Structure 1
Amino acid sequence: MLERFAQSGARWLIILGDVLNHGPRNALPEGYAPAEVAERLNSVAERIIAVRGNCDSEVDQMLLRFPMTAPWQQVLSERYRLFLTHGHLYSPENLPPLDAGDVLAYGHTHIPVAEKRGAIYLFNPGSVSIPKGGYSASYGLLDQGRLQVLALNDNQVIAEVAIYP
């Protein structure tokens, strides 16, 4: 994932929770190495915005040099607001207060979504480590007004929505 982040030229790496742990309902992914993941993420800590997932804990925070225990965060621009959350507290079924044109970015289900629903946008980048719903490992990118879910292995677009012209 960090290679794709570097290639993209993106300013921020946004992590929507479940940073180091997989939870009891998921099998251990191949190559599961949370200490190594922490070390790699710490190498770009100043460029990470993260929220806490339902499998994250304060013990995880001890390994990470970027904050990741907030249940949600907001990224504001002149054109839109990104409301970042894991998805177990706020979700498409339990929306936070959002205005027209805002984006709810969430994880939790590990299923890619990029769509407009009513006056807001829903965005789920899927998962780089435990993809679900028959999808391959994926990540998200916001570039030039488009939210895209891209396949980690070949950068093919899985889902896409324009949030401004």
Structure 2
Amino acid sequence: MKLFFASDLHGCLESTKKVVEAYHASGAEHFILLGDILNHGPRNPVPEGYAPAQVAELLNQYKDNIISVRGNCDSEVDQMLLDFPVMSDFAIVLLESGQRLFLTHGHLYNQNRLPPLKAGDVLAHGHTHLPVAQSMGEYVLFNPGSSTIPKGGNVASYGLLDGTELSVISFDGDVLVTTQI
């Protein structure tokens, strides 16, 4: 199974176009959005190319392939523009191996406030805009970074689960971090 991850688009059309292009190139079966899709939020600058309605139109074309969770900048108004559900605080995806992916944005559940996980599960979240793919002992922590507002000196990125390998990848194709699950 191949899964594509993106987070923290924050309404930027140019970044979303790059994300969709990378999704197509990846050959992934599903497109996972880890929140903060349309709104830039009050703590972030308005991104260049801010066009939330156009971002919604573009993403709606993939509604049958998207699994999404609510970010701290997402609201009921955003849901009115999107043809796929975005208001759930988390989703759980069962992998063929029996491991679970706990998908969330990161503002409610994160490595400092863990959801119920079993050994080998993956906690996947955005929110920090920092790329992470590492074993935490009992579970794996994964964050695809941000395609629009990367932080900590990082470049814009997305994530990919290919078999048992979780990777964060730049839009230039460089693998930034990777781990096995």
Which one scores higher on RCO, CA 8 angstroms, separation ≥ 6? 2
Pairing partner for 1:113 from 132, 139, 146: 132
Mapping for residues 1-165 of structure 1, pairs under 5 Å: 1-79=19-97, 80-152=99-171, 154-163=172-181
Question: Which aligned segments of 4 or more residues in structure 1 are displaced greater than 2 angstroms?
Answer: none
TM-score, normalised via structure 2 length: 0.88
Q: How far did 1:144 drift?
A: 1.8
Q: How far did 1:78 drift?
A: 3.3
Give the root-mean-square deviation of aligned CA atoms.
0.6
Q: How far did 1:155 drift?
A: 1.2
Local SS of the residue matching 1:82: strand
Aligned residues: 162
Q: How far did 1:118 drift?
A: 1.4
Q: How far did 1:44 drift?
A: 0.7
Residue type at the aligned position of 1:138: S
Give the unaligned 5+ runs of structure 1.
Answer: none
Q: How far did 1:29 drift?
A: 1.0
Q: Deviations over 1:52-78 (max 9, x none)?
A: 000000000000000000000000023
Q: How far did 1:126 drift?
A: 0.2
Local SS of the residue matching 2:64: helix
Give the unaligned 5+ runs of structure 2.
Answer: 1-18
Q: How far did 1:130 drift?
A: 1.1
Local SS of the residue matching 2:123: strand
